[in-house]
Amino acid sequence: MQIQIDKLVRSKRRTIALIVERDGTFTVRAPLRVPQAEIDSFVQQKADWVTRTREKIKSAQPALKKQYADGETFLYLGSLFELKLVRRQKPVLQFNDGFTLSQSARERGETYFVRWYKERAFEVISERVREYSQRHGFTPSQVKISSARTRWGSCSSTGTLNFTWRLVMAPLEVIDYVVAHELAHLRVKNHSRKFWKVVETVCSDYKRHRKWLRENGERLSL
């Protein structure tokens, strides 16, 4: 089966990466000097995986978009918390064992929630990166929070670790797995057996947490 590449992105990365976006778009990320023929050959070797992934995305039930209504629930660190609309408060979105949102801000609810999640994600994930880096001798250059929809995290060639804010909706142990995954890329750029050994050193139960993300990742959204 011939697989067509929708988007090819070349950078200073060392390996070829295949990404199937939520809309089915197939993106290939490749090193600057890798010949096109080598990229095409690699893609065709992974044709079955690309097809299966596209079918899985197509058949997945999309999460219901949030309405920011009174009584609606939102995920934070793996637990559901109820939203209460209130007349007036500053800041307009607050969290204290549950969310409260000013009624006048409901129409912009997504904006306020995304901002809140980004702030919490930076706090939580930065702390986990710091803890595991000190414990296992990693030296990332910095931590950034993104709005990525198809990747939980990434590691740049300069040692910057990027994480999507959506990750802070997941249980802490799942966050730790993604942190371990990206820290491991500081030492091993590919996903070889050596790479997974590094991940296991940091997060011994990583297989269970990776499985949780595969099964529940669609829930981590607004």
141 has a pLDDT exceeding 90: yes
Q: Which token pair is 35?
A: 């010949």
- Mean residue pLDDT across the chain: 92
- In this prediction, residues 193-208 reach a mean pLDDT of 96
pLDDT higher at 55 or 121: 121
Statement to judge: residues 55 and 77 lie in one domain: no
- For residue 63, what pLDDT is reported? 63
Tell me whether residue 52 is in a domain.
yes
Q: Could you report the per-residue pLDDT of 79-89, keeping only the tens digit for each?
A: 999 999 999 89
Statement to judge: residues 45 and 135 lie in one domain: no
Does residue 70 contact residue 83 with C-beta atoms inside 8 Å?
A: yes
166 has a pLDDT exceeding 70: yes
> Would you place residue 102 in the very low, low, confident or very high pLDDT band (cuts 50, 70, 90)?
very high
61 has a pLDDT exceeding 60: no
Count of CB atoms situated within 10 Å of the CB of 169 = 25
pLDDT higher at 22 or 67: 67
- For residue 23, what pLDDT is reported? 67
As for how many domains the chain has, the answer is 2
Distance CA 143, CA 140 (A): 8
Statement to judge: residues 89 and 31 lie in one domain: no
- In this prediction, residues 18-44 reach a mean pLDDT of 87
Report how far apart, in Å, the C-alpha atoms of 149 and of each of 21, 134, 152, 192, 202 are.
8, 29, 8, 25, 25
* pTM to 2 decimal places: 0.75
> Would you place residue 35 in the very low, low, confident or very high pLDDT band (cuts 50, 70, 90)?
very high
Statement to judge: residues 48 and 107 lie in one domain: no
Q: ∠115-121-122 over CA atoms, to 5°?
A: 95
* 27: CB partners within 8 A, 6+ apart: 5, 6, 7, 8, 9, 18, 19, 20, 21
Q: Could you report the per-residue pLDDT of 108-134, keeping only the tens digit for each?
A: 999 999 999 999 999 999 999 999 999
Distance CA 214, CA 52 (A): 14
Statement to judge: residues 101 and 192 lie in one domain: yes
Statement to judge: residues 34 and 87 lie in one domain: no
Statement to judge: residues 137 and 52 lie in one domain: no
Statement to judge: residues 26 and 136 lie in one domain: no
60 has a pLDDT exceeding 70: no
26 has a pLDDT exceeding 90: no
Q: Which domain holds residue 49?
A: 7-59
Residue 183 is classified by DSSP as H
Counted residue by residue, the chain has a size of 222
- For residue 104, what pLDDT is reported? 94
Statement to judge: residues 158 and 192 lie in one domain: yes
* 50: CB partners within 8 A, 6+ apart: 3, 18, 20, 26, 43
